[in-house]
Amino acid sequence: MGCGPGYMSLELARSGINVSGIDISSDCIDVAKHFSDNDPYKKGRGSLNYICGDFLSDKTLSNKKYDVILTLGALHHFKDQLSVANQFNNLLD
């Protein structure tokens, strides 16, 4: 959540993990996709999907369940922390 330009998402995928990264910034998602598409270590990599959208309301997320939600330096951008916690709860398997 709040994947920014995708550095952490890419490294997790390189470790064989299936990753979905979401960020509200289309510029950040464009950068993340650029590095993902041009990754020289694609072989053996887990899946990597980037979503440009709002973590609290994006319908793409609500159709899935996740094992882990990782966020680094994004929580302070949300005014309602309880809504974020509730969304975590809704999305976790």
In whole angstroms, give the CA distance from residue 17 to residue 89. Answer: 21
In whole angstroms, give the CA distance from residue 92 to residue 66. Answer: 5
In whole angstroms, give the CA distance from residue 72 to residue 6. Answer: 11
Using alpha carbons, select from 7, 13, 18, 2 the residue that is nearest to residue 88: 2
In whole angstroms, give the CA distance from residue 8 to residue 23. Answer: 13
pLDDT exceeds 90 at position 77: no
Per-residue pLDDT, averaged over 60-82, amounts to 89
In whole angstroms, give the CA distance from residue 41 to residue 16. Answer: 11
| pLDDT digit string, tens, across residues 30-70 | 999 999 999 999 888 999 999 999 999 988 887 889 999 99
